[in-house]
Amino acid sequence: MTSGILKSPIILVNLKCYQESIGHGAHRIAKAAREVADESGITIALAPMIMDIHPIRHHYGLPVFSQHIDPINPGAFTGRNPLAAVKAVGAIGSLVNHSEYRLSIADIEQNVTALKQEGMISCVCSNNVATTQAIATLGPDFVAIEPPELIGGKISVSESNPEIITESVRAVQNVNPDVRVLTGAGIHSGKCVKTAIDLGTVGVLLASSVVKAEDPTAVLRDLVSLL
């Protein structure tokens, strides 16, 4: 599968649209990610805003995801993000169905299929075990389990609800063992990452603990410290 180009364990940082990740802020985080990836040998990927995909890919050589793609072909769709556009500027894949940008199951399937056809990576976000199981039937490269009530908080899903991780991993393996699982929501320390890995996932999807940090290099070093 296309996900094989990302070696586990994986730290995938969603830069969202925070003030800290706009313009120079995105480069600050990318520089930190490049430094820690080189030091540790751990895969660190970023999902910046669309205007930062090309410069981050070009200047730092990191794996870069789009935060979202619209299930459309290029055409008269002002303000939308077709897959062809994010591929052209250097994205290797895209997040799909993030809790802040939910899609219908039909649109999720269309995006996953389109990404697969282009040899790109799909990382579909899910909020519970049943949804995770349904998404796994679509054959994405990754499913990221993220209970929305924990996103942006200081309590990680791996600490507060480890059962949702183990049950999600089991559900995915029963449906399609080629799909890999990431843990998201509230990830903020090396302990959170280590617990997520121990529970059967291949890495984490996180945002604010890195993006809003005064020293993102230090936070990233801590995240990979127990791997």
Q: Give the three-state DSSP class for 183.
A: strand
Q: Is 188 a known active-site residue?
A: no
C-alpha 58/C-alpha 72 separation (Å) is 26
Angle at 105 (CA atoms; ends 100, 108), nearest 5 degrees = 65
Dihedral sign for Cα 175, 180, 186, 187, please.
positive
Tokens of 84: 């062809």
Give the amino acid at 163: E
Do 96 and 69 contact (CB within 8 A), yes or no? yes
Choosing from 20, 68, 98, 188, the catalytic residue is 98
CA 137/CA 142 separation, integer angstroms: 12
146 is catalytic: yes
- 114: number of Cβ within 10 Å: 20
User: Which tokens hold the place of 57?
Assistant: 């890919």
Query: Which DSSP helix (H) or strand (E) runs through 11?
Result: strand 10-14
Give me the catalytic one of 146, 159, 163, 167.
146
CA separation, residue 186 to residues 107, 157, 216 (Å)? 27, 6, 16
Tokens 């205007």 label which residue?
Answer: 51
Give catalytic residues, as residue numbers: 98, 146
